[in-house]
Structure 1
Amino acid sequence: MPKFSDLDALYNTNTAEVATSMYEDPDLFAEEMEKIFKKTWVFVAHDSEFPDKGSFKLSNVGLEPVIVVRDRKGKIHCMVNRCRHRAATVCEVKKGKTSSFQCPYHGWGYGLDGSLRALPYPEQYGDDFDKTQHGLLKLRTESYNGMVFATFNEDAEPLVDFLGEGVCRYIDLFMKQGGGFPVKVLGEHQFSVPMNWKVQLENTTDAYHFPIVHKSFMQTLDGETGELFDFLDKGVGYVEDLGNGHSVMLMIPELLDLDENLDDPIPERFADLAQQLLDDGYPDEQMRKIVRAVSGAGFNLNLFPNVSFSLSFLRVLTPKSVEQTDIRHIALGMDGGPEAANQMRMRLHEHFQGPMGFGSPDDAEVWERVQRGTKGGEDLSILVNRGMVDEEPGEYGPRGHISAETGMRAAYKMWKGMMSQ
Structure 2
Amino acid sequence: MCSHDTDTYQPVTFTARPERLVQDDRVDGSMYHDPALFETELERIFYKTWIWVAHESEIRNPGDFKTTKIGRQPVIVVRDKAGKIHVLENRCRHRGATLCEKSKGNATGFTCPYHSWSYALDGKLRALPYPDGYEDILDKSELPLRSLRVDSYAGMVFASFNQDVEPLSDFLGEAKRWIDLFMKQGAGYPIKTQGEHKFTFHGNWKIQLENTTDGYHFPIVHKSWMSSVDEETSEMLSFMTDEKAVTHALGNGHSVMVMVPEHVDLDQDDGTEPLQERFAHITEALSKEMPPEQVRRIVRSLHGAGFNLNLFPNVAMSMAFFRVLHPVSVTETEIRHVALGMEGGPEIANRERLRIHEHFQGPFGFGSPDDAEAWERVQRGSYAGKNVPILVNRGLNREIVADNGDKVSHATDEGGMREAYRTWKRMMSDE
- Normalising TM by the smaller chain, what interval? over 0.9
Amino acid at match of 1:53: P
Q: Deviations over 1:286-337 (max 9, x none)?
A: 1111112212110000000000011100000000100000000000000100
What is the Cα deviation at residue 5 of structure 1?
5.2
**Counterpart among 375, 378, 395 of residue 386 in structure 2:** 378
Residues 37, 62 of structure 1: 8 Å contact kept: yes
Residues 262, 292 of structure 1: 8 Å contact kept: no
Residues 262, 285 of structure 1: 8 Å contact kept: no
What is the Cα deviation at residue 123 of structure 1?
2.3
**Counterpart among 396, 412, 426 of residue 417 in structure 1:** 426
How far apart, in 1, do the equivalents of 2:231 and 2:97 lie? 55
**Counterpart among 19, 22, 27 of residue 11 in structure 1:** 22
Amino acid at match of 1:150: A
Which structure 2 residue ranges, 5 or more long, are not aligned?
1-13
RMSD: 1.3
What is the Cα deviation at residue 262 of structure 1?
5.6
How far apart, in 2, do the equivalents of 1:250 and 1:34 lie? 32
How far apart, in 2, do the equivalents of 1:80 and 1:154 lie? 14
- The residue that corresponds to 2:51 in the other structure is 42
- The residue that corresponds to 1:402 in the other structure is 411
1:193 aligns with 2:196: no
SS of 2:215's equivalent? coil
- The residue that corresponds to 1:356 in the other structure is 364
**Counterpart among 70, 77, 83 of residue 86 in structure 2:** 77
How far apart, in 1, do the equivalents of 2:329 and 2:262 lie? 40
Q: Deviations over 1:177-232 (max 9, x none)?
A: 11111100011000001110000010000000001000001101222221111101
SS of 1:263's equivalent? coil
After superposition, where does 1:73-222 map in structure 2 within 5 Å? 73-164=82-173, 166-222=174-230
- The residue that corresponds to 2:68 in the other structure is 59
1:230 aligns with 2:235: no
Amino acid at match of 2:101: E
- The residue that corresponds to 1:324 in the other structure is 332
- The residue that corresponds to 1:28 in the other structure is 37
How far apart, in 1, do the equivalents of 2:297 and 2:89 lie? 41
SS of 1:60's equivalent? strand
SS of 1:386's equivalent? coil
SS of 1:208's equivalent? helix
Amino acid at match of 1:33: L
Amino acid at match of 1:12: Q
- The residue that corresponds to 2:8 in the other structure is none
SS of 1:176's equivalent? helix
How far apart, in 2, do the equivalents of 1:406 and 1:377 lie? 24
- The residue that corresponds to 2:261 in the other structure is 253
Amino acid at match of 1:76: I
23-32 vs 393-402, which moves further: 393-402
Q: What TM-score do you get using the length of structure 1 for normalisation?
A: 0.97
SS of 2:229's equivalent? coil
SS of 1:315's equivalent? strand
How many residues matched?
416
How far apart, in 2, do the equivalents of 1:390 and 1:284 lie? 42
How far apart, in 2, do the equivalents of 1:171 and 1:269 lie? 28
- The residue that corresponds to 2:294 in the other structure is 286
Residues 324, 337 of structure 2: 8 Å contact kept: yes
How far apart, in 2, do the equivalents of 1:45 and 1:128 lie? 38
Amino acid at match of 1:6: R
SS of 1:233's equivalent? coil
SS of 1:168's equivalent? helix
SS of 1:318's equivalent? strand
How far apart, in 2, do the equivalents of 1:117 and 1:144 lie? 31
1:303 aligns with 2:311: yes
What is the Cα deviation at residue 126 of structure 1?
3.3
How far apart, in 1, do the equivalents of 2:172 and 2:16 lie? 27
Q: Deviations over 1:112-144 (max 9, x none)?
A: 001111111222223141112211111000000
Q: Deviations over 1:231-275 (max 9, x none)?
A: 013343111110100000011110001111162322212222111
Amino acid at match of 2:140: K
Amino acid at match of 1:97: N
SS of 2:216's equivalent? coil
- The residue that corresponds to 2:4 in the other structure is none
SS of 1:187's equivalent? strand
How far apart, in 2, do the equivalents of 1:153 and 1:219 lie? 47
SS of 1:104's equivalent? coil
128-137 vs 151-160, which moves further: 128-137
How far apart, in 1, do the equivalents of 2:169 and 2:68 lie? 21
How far apart, in 1, do the equivalents of 2:113 and 2:33 lie? 37
How far apart, in 2, do the equivalents of 1:285 and 1:58 lie? 40
Residues 17, 429 of structure 2: 8 Å contact kept: no
**Counterpart among 332, 341, 345 of residue 333 in structure 1:** 341
Amino acid at match of 1:294: L
Q: What TM-score do you get using the length of structure 2 for normalisation?
A: 0.94
1:274 aligns with 2:298: no
How far apart, in 2, do the equivalents of 1:143 and 1:241 lie? 22
Identity of aligned residues (%): 57
Q: Deviations over 1:72-108 (max 9, x none)?
A: 0000000111111111100011000000100000010
Amino acid at match of 2:422: K
Residues 108, 120 of structure 2: 8 Å contact kept: yes
How far apart, in 2, do the equivalents of 1:415 and 1:4 lie? 16
